Chain A
Amino acid sequence: MKKLKPRQRVLVYQLMMYGLAAVVVLVVVTQADWPKIQKNFFNTEIAADMFPEVITSAVKNTALYTALSFVLGMVLALALALMRLSSLKPFRAFAIGYIELFRGLPALITLLFVGFGLPIAFSGFRIPGGVLGRGSVGLALVAGAYMAETIRAGIEAVPKGQTEAARSLGMSQTRTMFTIILPQAFRIIIPPLTNELVLLIKDTSLFFILGSTPGTKELTKFARDFMNAERNATPLTVVAILYLLITLPLTFLVRRLERSAAKAR
């Protein structure tokens, strides 16, 4: 066979790949049982039955759990980040230990520990607020560890000259941190913090482990119970779309923020 020129070889390769893709698509389209798929995953009647509770209760609970976990996690993360940067060694050591511990464990373990481990160990001890309280504290313990590293990176990204300027005006270390450094640090870390928020939204699906009443189900638990009752997978499709409706705009926002931050530099 005559040896092909490099450009011809690339062309032949591309044609083969397109051909392969076309064959796969053709097989799927012709062989799949479309009516069955539609009935089990895209059943409009079952989907309609989910409304309005899926919004008024499930989406609302997911949002509530996420928001509380995020706020609690942020407070914890800020404290951990400041400890991590402290000049006092025990504080640094504690922060490092905490961060490594909770980043190294599955979130589910932490949730089980807060939800069941603690009440068993200290009988009578209960975090108030039911599923909302226990779940949010559990997730916040995990999120705090991740966000602490993000905040620390943000603080370290603020130029040293800012601290020097503030201190040269007579500001104390604490005042410098809160009025000069942290406002700039948070501006820098808005994109990674938004990513953290997206992760939290998805992690609230772990709340099912804490048990639930009809009023406390978040999206995933709501879909699962609905699926079991109807013996149909459509509820999963519906909540998948709802998750994406929440998370995609956020990830889109992150990308835009990152781009504008790159431009500002």
Chain B
Amino acid sequence: MTHAIDVRNLHKAFGDLEVLQGIDFTVETGEVVCVLGPSGSGKSTLLRCLNRLEEPNGGQILIDGEDITDPDADVDQLRTNIGMVFQQFNLFPHLTVLKNLTVAQTGVLGRPKAEAISIAREMLERVGLSDKTHDYPAHLSGGQQQRVAIARALSMKPKMMLFDEPTSALDPELVGEVLDVMRTLAGEGMTMMVVTHEIGFAQEVADRVVFMDAGVVVEEGRPEQVLEHPTHERTKKFLRMVSEH
């Protein structure tokens, strides 16, 4: 059976620093997986390897059964199937919200302009920002910007979505609106991998939680299992520290 994401013995080093030391895990189609772990544990690097924003040093990554670590793999083509949402939103500040959503649709996928615009409007509706179509990103709040970034990724009609700490750069009162959008998306059956510090979100939405530390997967399982009855000392310690806040 092919998995949506299948990572085998993944290694990544920056110079002498081994950030990923042999990661194995899978994500099934329609599954929502949250990755938790202290900063520096390699969880963002892992996520960025999945669409090759970082080049792995060893191991294999199969997306829908296709080996993307193959040097001959078409990275640009691959990336159109994998939506990514960043901590810093990374909207294109010189383009309107609508143009942010259509620039890759027309330029990369070759969709006709009218079709791209109608898809963009549909996605903005989904994230509740239809009224911001012609605004520039600088005029939006952080929460709105991140929702636009999610809509931008969705406009490509990707098979799966990667979230790299999507709420970490937001003011506390803006976190909820972004999590709401992600919750809805998960409910619609999107395959999602979410690197996050939002334990509550993981508990409620995730089908599975992966806990990473020092470049390895320490433990994984159902959220109630990992978050409420962790078996490893490192997981317990991390959860204790997070819950103290």
Contact = CB atoms under 8 A, between A and B. Distances in A.
Contacts of A169: 79-80, 103-104, 108, 152-153, 156
A168 B88 contact: no
B93 interface: yes
B92 A171 contact: no
A170 interface: yes
Interface residues of A, number: 18
A229 B182 CA distance: 80
Contact of B86 (A164, A170, A183): A164
Given A164-B86, A175-B108, A179-B103, A170 B77 contact: yes
Contact residues of A: prevailing secondary structure: helix
B168 to A, nearest CB: 14
Given A169-B79, A170-B156, A172-B76, A184 B93 contact: yes
Interface in A167-185: 167-172, 175, 179-180, 183-184
A162 B92 CA distance: 7
Contacts of B84: 165, 168
Contacts of B88: 159, 161
A187 B77 CA distance: 30
B94 A183 contact: yes
B2 interface: no
Contact of B92 (A170, A172, A180, A187): A180
B86 A171 contact: no
B71 interface: no
Contacts of B109: 170
B90 A161 contact: yes
A161 B80 contact: no
A155 to B, nearest CB: 14
A38 to B, nearest CB: 54
A171 B108 contact: yes
A170 B90 contact: no
B94 A170 contact: no
A159 B109 CA distance: 25
A164 B53 contact: yes
Pick the most buried of A165, A169, A172, A179: most chain B CB atoms within 10 A of its CB. A169
A171 B104 contact: yes
A177 to B, nearest CB: 13
A194 B77 CA distance: 40
Given A161-B90, A179-B107, A168 B53 contact: yes
A183 B99 CA distance: 14
Contact of A170 (B53, B79, B149): B79
Nearest to B53: A164
A183 B51 CA distance: 25
Contact of B94 (A166, A172, A187): A187
Contact of A167 (B79, B92, B94): B79
Nearest to A161: B90
A179 B84 CA distance: 19
Interface in B75-134: 76-80, 82-84, 86, 88, 90-94, 103-104, 107-109
23 contacts: A159-B88, A159-B90, A161-B86, A161-B90, A164-B53, A164-B86, A165-B86, A165-B92, A165-B149, A166-B104, A167-B53, A167-B79, A169-B152, A169-B153, A170-B78, A170-B104, A171-B107, A172-B76, A175-B108, A179-B103, A180-B103, A184-B94, A187-B94
Minimum-distance CB pairs A-B, first 3: A165-B90, A169-B104, A170-B80
Given A165-B149, A184-B93, 19 more contacts: A159-B90, A162-B90, A164-B53, A166-B92, A167-B76, A168-B82, A168-B83, A169-B104, A169-B108, A169-B152, A170-B77, A170-B78, A170-B80, A170-B156, A171-B108, A172-B76, A175-B107, A180-B92, A180-B103
